[in-house]
Amino acid sequence: MKDIMRIKSLLSTDIEALLNQQIKKEAHSSALYLAMASWCNQNGFDYSSDYFSKQSDEERYHQLKLFKYVLDMGGSAISPEVSGIKHDYTSLREVFEDALEQEVAITQSFKNIAANCMKEQDFVTFEFLNWFMKEQREEEYKARRALELFEVIGEEGTGLWEIDKHVNKIKYDSEAAE
């Protein structure tokens, strides 16, 4: 029966494995952003806590979008176990540095999947991934802009409070980017 199902799947074994790895990475990102939201909340950065809570929700949405795609293509989507989440940070800047690092890693992962899709001529999955590539452009932009606040505003005096206030105001104009 398993061989018959594989024939009916529109995904190769390799692409399915890469997509399941990405599902796990998105679940990890969601959990990581929740941990960041918690740290921010505990340290009085309410706006940043809200920002990371929303980021967590977005990553969970990405996870579920990938999960459904694998199922829709006749594959076997795997619900991942998430562990190894960092909970302690030394500063608000470190939280945002880690967030940018996470987004860059996710972008690289999607690029890898896309490259493999092109190699296998899986144009359907490649087209599906375009949505995520555009989304990653926005995610990296927002993470970089948040870090720029530390340079523009500074951390002295009420600087951290101002940074925290401005984080939720960062917007990405997708029409301007196209």
Domains of the chain and CATH, by start: 2-177 (1.20.1260.10)
Considering the entire predicted model, what is its pTM? Answer: 0.90
Question: Model confidence at 1, in pLDDT bands (50, 70, 90)?
Answer: very low
pLDDT of residue 175: 46
Residue-averaged pLDDT of the chain: 92
User: What string of DSSP letters covers the chain?
Assistant: -HHHHHHH-SS-HHHHHHHHHHHHHHHHHHHHHHHHHHHHHHTT-HHHHHHHHHHHHHHHHHHHHHHHHHHHTT----PPP--------S-HHHHHHHHHHHHHHHHHHHHHHHHHHHHHT-HHHHHHHHHHHHHHHHHHHHHHHHHHHHHHH-STTTHHHHHHHHHTT----HHHH-
Q: 32-75, pLDDT tens digit by residue?
A: 999 999 999 999 999 999 999 999 999 999 999 999 999 999 99
Q: 76-118, pLDDT tens digit by residue?
A: 999 999 999 999 999 999 999 999 999 999 999 999 999 999 9
